[in-house]
Structure 1
Amino acid sequence: MNILLTGASRGIGKAAADALTVAGHRVLGTSTKGGEGLIAADFSDPAAAGACWAEAERRLGRIDALVNNAGVYEAVADDAPEAEWQSSWARTLQVNLQAAADLSRLAIAHFRANGGGRIVNVASRAGYRGDSPQHWHYAASKAALIAVTKTIARGYAHEGVLAFAVAPGFTVTEMTEEYLASRGGEKVLADIPLGRVASAAEVGETIRWLATQAPASSTGSVIDVNGASYVR
Structure 2
Amino acid sequence: MPRYLTDQDIADFRAELCKVATERFARFGYEGVTMRQLAEALGCSPKTPYRYFKDKADILATVRAQAFAKFSDALEKARAGASDPADRGRLTGEAYLAFALKNPHAYRIMFEIDAPVDEKHPELGPAAERAARYITRGAEEMAASGVIEADSKLFGWSMWAALHGIVMLHQSGMLAHGPDYKSLSYFLGLTMLKGAGAKFGPGGVVQGGKGKKK
Q: Shorter-chain TM-score category?
A: 0.3 to 0.5
- Larger strand proportion, structure 1 or 2? 1
Q: Between the two structures, name the one with larger relative contact order (CA 8 Å, sep ≥ 6).
A: 1
Q: Pick the structure with greater CA Rg.
A: 2
TM-score (norm 2): 0.35
